[in-house]
Amino acid sequence: MIEWRDHGVVLSARPFGEDGLLVRALTREHGLHAGLARWTRGKRRDGFVLQPGVEADMVWRARLSDQLGLWTLEPVRDHAGYWLDDRRRLAAIAAAAALMEAASAEREPHPGLAAGLEAFLASLASEAWEAAYVTWEIGVLKALGFALDLTCCAATGATDDLIYVSPKTGHAVSAAAGAPYADRMLPLPGFLVGSGAYDDKAIADGLKLTGHFLSRDVLGVLNRDIPDPRRRFQDLFAESAIERP
C-alpha cells in the first residue's frame, strides 16, 4: 500500500459513480494528482462543499503507484464558499483552478506553482486582488519557463513610457519605439510597471497579455486551449471596459 500526506488546492471535482467524486488537486510536494473521494456532489460535510478552490490537508492511498488512488480530504478553507456573493472573485477562482489543471504536469512536483496558487487565493481578501491575479499569471509563466521582461524597452533600453509588449518576445517596448508597430503590439497596463492605478480596461489588457503567452508558450505546447473559465474571466473585464469607457 502506498500512502502520502500533503496540503493542496482542489482544482476540479467531477461526479464518479453514485457516491463519489473524481478530484484533481494541486499539492505542494506531489504536484497535480487525481483520486476518488467518497463525497456526494453538492453534499456538505462540516460546512464544506468539495469544489474548486477548497484548500485541504490531503491523504492519497493506492495499492500501486500508477493507480488512480483514493483521497481522504480534510478541508481547511473554502475560498469559493467564502465569496459566494462576489461574481468576479468566484470567476477568478474558477479561472485559476482551470488554468492550473490545464497547465500542470501530472504527478510532477512543482512547489512554486502550488505556493503561488495558495498565495493568490489568499490575496482575494485584499482590495487589489484583480491586479494580484494578473501578477499571479505572470508568475505562472515564469515558473513554467517563459518569463516576461517588463523592465525596459527591448529596442532602446529605456525604462520609462513602457506601454507595449512584443507578442513575439515578451519584452516591453516604449511608446516611441513601438509606435510604428502599434497595431501588432500587446498593451502593457501601467500597474504592471508601477505607473498608476488600474481599472477594468487595465485588468482586461493584463489578462490579454498573459493569455497570449499562456496560450502560445504553455498550453499550445501541450495542444490545449485556454480553459473556458479563464476565457470567461477575461471577458468580464473586457465587457465592462466597453460598457464604461
Q: What is the pLDDT of residues 132-184, one digit of tens each?
A: 999 999 999 999 999 999 999 999 999 999 999 999 999 999 999 999 999 99
Predicted structure pTM score: 0.93
Give residue 47's pLDDT.
Answer: 52
Expressed in percent and rounded to 5, the helix, strand and coil fractions of the chain are: 40, 25, 30
Q: Is residue 41 part of a domain?
A: yes
* Any domain includes 176: yes
Burial of 64 (0-12, 13-18, 19+ CB in 10 A): exposed
- 59-68, 219-228, 235-244 — most confident range: 219-228
Distance in angstroms (rounded) separating the CA atoms of residues 172 and 53 = 33
Task: Provide the pLDDT confidence category of residue 16 given band limits of 50, 70 and 90.
Answer: confident
Would you call 227 helix, strand, or coil by DSSP? coil
Shared-domain flag, residues 83 and 141: no
pLDDT of 43 strictly over 60 = no
**Domain annotation covers residue 121:** no
- Determine the Cα–Cα distance for residues 88 and 100; give it in Å rounded to an integer: 18
Query: Can you give the pLDDT at residue 40?
Result: 56
Domain of residue 74 covers: 2-116
Are 166 and 105 contained in the same domain? no
Report the number of distinct structural domains present in the chain: 2
Distance, in Å, from the CA atom of 64 to the CA atom of 101, rounded to the nearest integer, reads 23
Last residue of a domain, one of 116, 136, 166: 116
Mean pLDDT of the chain: 93
* Residues 62 and 100 grouped into a single domain: yes
| 201 falls within a domain | yes
Looking at the structure, tell me whether residues 174 and 150 fall in a common domain: yes
Q: In the listed set 51, 83, 116, which residue is the last one of a domain according to the structure? A: 116
Q: Is residue 104's pLDDT more than 80?
A: yes
The domain boundary residue, chosen from 94, 116, 138: 116
- pLDDT bin (cut points 50, 70, 90) of residue 66 is confident
Find the mean pLDDT for residues 1-16. 94
Q: Is the domain of 88 the same as that of 179?
A: no
Same domain, 207 and 147: yes
Q: Report percent pLDDT > 90 for the chain.
A: 85
Is pLDDT of 107 > 90?
Answer: yes
- What is the pLDDT, as a whole number, of residue 64? 83
Claim to verify: residue 75 and residue 146 sit in the same structural domain: no
pLDDT surpasses 80 at 237 = yes
